[in-house]
A and B are shown apart, each in its own frame.
Chain A
Amino acid sequence: MAEEIRAPMAGKILQVNISAGDKVQEDDELFVIEAMKMENPIYAPISGTVKEVKVKEGDKVEEDDLLAIIE
């Protein structure tokens, strides 16, 4: 089962804490997005393996943009 991690709002990718192949636990911090002048962490909704990371630090993203896939 693959879980898509999407941007909850438009912003800039400040931190990417994962790479493809990493094992993650639920609630692990995957990214930090700067939005509305705040640094907002994005947490893993499930435990699993990172299949793909679609963004890098500095990227601008829109709401719902795909950031990563976890299996």
Chain B
Amino acid sequence: MRPYFEKMKEFGRELKETQKKRTEENAKQIKEEEEKIAKEAEKIKEFGIPTEKINQRGQLTVFQRIEYLVDPGTFRPLHTFYNPADNKDCFTNVVDGLAKISGKWVVLIGFDNKYMAGAWVPGQPENIFRATDLAKRLNIPLVWLVNCSGVLLTEQEKFYAGRRGSGTTFFRHAELEQMGIPIIAGIFGTNPAGGGYQAISPTILIAHKDANMAVGGAGIVSGMSPKGKFDLETAEELIEIAKKYKEKPPGRVEIHYNETGFFRHVFDDEKEVLDCIKEYVKKLPAYDLDFFRVAKPKPPKFSSEDLYYLLPINQKRTYNFDEIIARLVDGSEHMEFRPDYGPEVYTGLAKVNGLLVGIIGNRQGLMPKNYPEYANYPGIGGKLYRQGLIKMNEFVTLCGRDRIPIIWFQDTTGIDVGDLAEKAELLGLGQSLIYSIQQTDIPMMLVVLRKGTAAAHYIMGGPTANRHNAFTLGTVCTEIYVMHGETAAVATYTRRLIKAKESGQPLEPIIEKMNELVKKYYDTSRPLFCAKLGLVDEIVSLKDIRTYMETFAEAVYQNPRSICPHHQMMLPRIIKG
């Protein structure tokens, strides 16, 4: 199949100086916003105890552990700003992402031992499940840096129990292991109770000499009968008992290395623990990617710096989506699927580091005359119409057949609406795309370049595709909402305006409410807000989009659960004709 893949059709054009000059201000604005996000990201390193104090205790912080452990420059953070429970002193108290260790991609996650010795906190289970789901979707190993003091006792009701509480992690670990996905854990510090299960549920346990893990901790002072409340007398009694209470935490190395053997290895130095993790990852199976490559890797022909000039931060401004993709795929080459059909959507095959991927995205700008064919109004990019929906259904289904992972790009204002759209079956076609995605069982990733709106955000490989979407990236231009705030204000308040007008009441109070709603939609659709709620898994700079695409493609092909030989693929032949 070399004739199909080695050299595909080139697309895209060099950015002219006049174009660059015209969009210089846009580039500057985007970079300023990216700098703000980067500064915010640094703040997570300041939660809890200062790094120096942790180091003085002979420990490394989770950030230092990650830096030592991963192959240089390969950590792809995810969930940096994720804080669904709106914690004030921390976010989710775990740090995670994709990383290469000993040349292999893994999902890496660790407790932040700077805050409450790596305690369980509200919102954390959801972060952990995203990591375990990622390992499951990509079929790659999970590496844990366990340093978990257990439940943050003052807030246990928010996360200890329930279907998606902290204990669910252990079932997720068992599920991964049932699927043949190993979990390699470095164990540091004190890990009682919940921390004990965090430590025992992985596959291989590599411990630091001062680590311990146990069913229960040493912090529970026994010998006091419950009295229903505390008072001064009880407090004085507690002080006396606790002063004398000198028990060492249970489950130390003497027990779990010497006696039970749960700890496979023990080391004096934290770096030795991390080195041992690297050795274990070396033992894990992984394809040499050349097995799956369709061509030699090559960078895009055009610089990713161009993206700053091509993607308008002004949401109303249209742009050429094909030029964006030409900056993100090998050689700026592609095989476009059905270019003469469904012009509002791009679908095509491309290579990322020599590996075949499907690309789907919203085109922007005015559509050709008499499109959509079923309506008497013009078509605009960002919207989805009948042909585009049919085309995406076809492309997704064929990618599924050919086992080609899909990278989605969204900048959408939604699916076309109205009776003409309904007659054109758009409601059914939208759900059909959901069905098409669901029946593929191939990994997907999404970049919300700018807008993710309404049902289009769901159906175009959105995070709602839980079983397929591995992760979702946002940019500083990302906005996600069910509809634009002004549309929502019109929908919510027009009737009240009419009633007020008819009854001679002042309109101003209603107008004020409308503007408040518009502001609320604006505030709750900003990139950082989306990242905080997990509507996207990470905000990345435009120049890092390609980096994450490379990671995704390589991770997908490292341990695929199914293979379609290149010479048995149908999509390239259907495109060529």
Quick check: is B317 within 8 A (CB to CB) of the other chain?
A: yes
Quick check: is A49 within 8 A (CB to CB) of the other chain?
A: no
Given the interface pairs A27-B16, A29-B22, the reply to whether A40 lies near B366 with Cβ below 8 Å is: yes
* Identity of the chain A residue whose Cβ is nearest the Cβ of B18 in the assembled complex: A28
* Identity of the chain A residue whose Cβ is nearest the Cβ of B382 in the assembled complex: A38
Q: How far is the CA of A28 from the CA of B378 in the complex (A)?
A: 25
Quick check: is A3 within 8 A (CB to CB) of the other chain?
A: no
Residues of A within 8 A of B16 (CB): 25, 27
Q: Is the CB of B318 within 8 A of A40?
A: yes
Q: How far is the CA of A27 from the CA of B382 in the complex (A)?
A: 22
Q: How far is the CA of A27 from the CA of B15 in the complex (A)?
A: 10
Q: Is the CB of A38 within 8 A of B314?
A: no
* Closest-CB distance, A65 to chain B (whole angstroms): 14
Q: How many residues of B contact A (CB 8 A)?
A: 15
Residues of B within 8 A of A39 (CB): 314, 316-318
Q: How many residues of A contact B (CB 8 A)?
A: 14
Residues of A within 8 A of B382 (CB): 38
Residues of B within 8 A of A28 (CB): 18
Q: How far is the CA of A12 from the CA of B22 in the complex (A)?
A: 21
* Closest-CB distance, B19 to chain A (whole angstroms): 7
* Closest-CB distance, A48 to chain B (whole angstroms): 14
Quick check: is B121 within 8 A (CB to CB) of the other chain?
A: no
Q: How far is the CA of A28 from the CA of B18 in the complex (A)?
A: 7
Quick check: is B380 within 8 A (CB to CB) of the other chain?
A: yes
Given the interface pairs A27-B19, A40-B365, A40-B366, the reply to whether A9 lies near B378 with Cβ below 8 Å is: yes
Q: How far is the CA of A27 from the CA of B16 in the complex (A)?
A: 9
Quick check: is A36 within 8 A (CB to CB) of the other chain?
A: yes
Interface residues of B in 302-320 (CB under 8 A from A): 314, 316-318
Q: Is the CB of B19 within 8 A of A36?
A: no
A13-33 to B contact mask, C-beta < 8 Å, 1/0: 000000000000101110000
Q: Which of A29, A36, A41 contacts B380 (CB 8 A)?
A: A36
Q: Is the CB of B19 within 8 A of A37?
A: no
Residues of B within 8 A of A40 (CB): 318, 365-366
Q: How far is the CA of A29 from the CA of B318 in the complex (A)?
A: 12
Given the interface pairs A25-B18, A27-B16, A27-B19, the reply to whether A38 lies near B378 with Cβ below 8 Å is: no
